Amino acid sequence: MLSKTQFIFSYLNHNLKSTPINPFINCQTKPISSLKVVWRKDSKLDQAIEIDKRYRLCARVVKEVLNEPGQVIPLRYLEKRRERMGLTVEVRTFLTKNPGLFTSYYDKIKPKTQPVEFIRVSDRLKDFLEEEERVYGENEHWIMSKLCKLLMMSKDKVLSVDKLVHVKREFGFPNDFLVNLVPKYPQYFRLVGCPGEGQSFLELVSWESEFAKSVIERRAEEESRLTGIRVRPNFHVKLPSGFFLRKEMREWVRDWMELDYVSPYEDVSQLDQASREMEKRTVGVFHELLSLSLHKRVPVPILGKFSDEYRFSNAFSSVFTRHSGIFYMSLKGGIKTAMLREAYKGDKLIDRDPLLQIKDKFAELLEEGWRVRAEQLRYHREAIKKDMEMMAMKNVEYDKRVCDE
């Protein structure tokens, strides 16, 4: 039976039509930064981002209303925020196209003013919000472990609260995680400073060995248990069809894959930033971060906010093209997004986070509204067609009477 590394070498040789190369030859004469790989578009992975576009837009509008006092807002006020929310149509048009999210009513903004149209969350949206709370409650331990893992991978075991709030959507943290989740686990977390009033940080109080195993390490342990053969932790290489690497790069990848896996939870303060081992660790951190994210993808600018905490180099984004068999960097929507190849089959996410139940429920809510609207439009078109047929019949009868006269 081939080892995992031998299998990867065989795969690369077969698919890239290269001549056999001794994988143990040292091909590290050039610095890592000089090894370039041409970016290649992956339409299926781009499509995975495009599919979620409409849901994300609806979620932004819902969030805008939920953040208002009483969860109500005058329609004209919401219209003024259209550009900020990324709406390309008027808010009224958006509401018409997405029924079921809100209901409207008229009220006065001030006592002596004329009533204006307000919108508020619908009963169906309230039901979804209750279901969202239930899913968060059922997965509280998973959310807490994610937060621990983010802190445990960081250089000083501390992260800025502002940065954590900025990435809460990517990792599936509830909006109130700092208020309702963090205080429940004083054995793991310490909040320093007051969020919203100057700088504040979240510190790791104690190291939890249970959380200090990466996805790759757990996978190797599971494979070893099933096969009875010790499996070395290593990355899965999933080269896209027709992808080509220059000979120099193929040699580098083979030699690099033979290096021992460096856990993202290890102390690497002694490693040279430009070493192959540090590259191995950096790839490991990105792999773990993307594995912890909801959709196994994170915008590159968001990852860049943690460059200091996770010891990323200034040119860290080149890692995603240099290791194109592990990652894909999408340019969809004009935003660079790092994606984990192994988590997808075509444009479908196969490695699903349990918190994606929330997105599934929201999608059901939206799609039910879209079905209702489509049915209403169908009835409307049929009614117009019948009216036109009736008018045509009346015109024929009228013309006949005129001719008879």
pLDDT digits (tens, 9 = 90+) for 362-399: 999 998 888 887 787 777 777 787 778 778 777 766 66
| Global model pTM greater than 0.85 | no
Between CA 297 and CA 95 the distance in angstroms is 29
**pLDDT score at 396:** 65
* Rg of the chain taking only CA atoms, in angstroms: 28
pLDDT of residue 153: 97
Mean pLDDT of 52-74: 92
% of the chain exceeding 90 in pLDDT? 60
Q: Does pLDDT of 33 surpass 60?
A: no
- Say which amino acid occupies 78: L
pLDDT category of residue 6 using cuts at 50, 70 and 90: very low
Give residue for tokens 């190849």.
341
Span of 209-218, 265-274, 340-349, 385-394 with lowest mean pLDDT:
385-394
Residue 32's pLDDT is 61
Rounded CA-CA distance 54/75 in Å is: 21
Q: Over the chain, what is the mean pLDDT? A: 86
- Considering 66-75, 271-280, 286-295, the range whose residues carry the highest mean pLDDT is 286-295
Residue 273's pLDDT band, with cuts at 50, 70 and 90, is confident
Query: With 60 as the cut, is the pLDDT of residue 5 above it?
Result: no
Per-residue pLDDT, 392 = 72
> Token pair 């472990």 is at which residue?
145
Q: What is the pLDDT of residue 16?
A: 40
Average pLDDT over residues 241-258: 81
The amino acid at residue 60 is: R
Mean per-residue pLDDT, 342-348 = 93
Distance CA 141, CA 354 (A): 12
**Mean pLDDT value of segment 355-360:** 94
Lowest mean pLDDT across 162-171, 215-224, 235-244, 298-307: 235-244
Residue 210 pLDDT more than 80?
A: yes
Q: With 60 as the cut, is the pLDDT of residue 2 above it?
A: no
pLDDT band at 19 (very low <50, low <70, confident <90, very high): very low
pLDDT of residue 112: 85
Q: Is the pLDDT of residue 11 over 70?
A: no
pLDDT at 197: 66
Q: Is the pLDDT of residue 247 over 60?
A: yes
What is the distance between the alpha carbons of residues 275 and 271, in angstroms, rounded to a whole number? 7
Which of 50-59, 130-139, 240-249 bottoms out in mean pLDDT, i.e. has the lowest? 240-249
Say if CB 319 and CB 32 are below 8 A apart: no
Q: Are 16 and 250 in contact (CB under 8 A)?
A: yes
Per DSSP, 198 falls in state: S
pLDDT at position 270 is 86
Residue 27 above 70 pLDDT? no
Placement of tokens 């992260």 in the chain: 159
Amino acid at 229: I
**Helix ranges restricted to H, 154-230:** 161-166, 168-171, 215-227
How far, in Å, CA of 169 to CA of 175, rounded? Answer: 8
Tokens 């509204």: give the residue. 369
**161 and 201 Cβ atoms separated by less than 8 Å:** yes
Cα separation, 297 vs 101, whole angstroms = 27
Give φ, ψ of 358 to 5 degrees.
-65, -45
pLDDT confidence of residue 370: 84
Rounded average pLDDT over 165-185: 94
What residue type is assigned to position 79 of the chain?
A: E
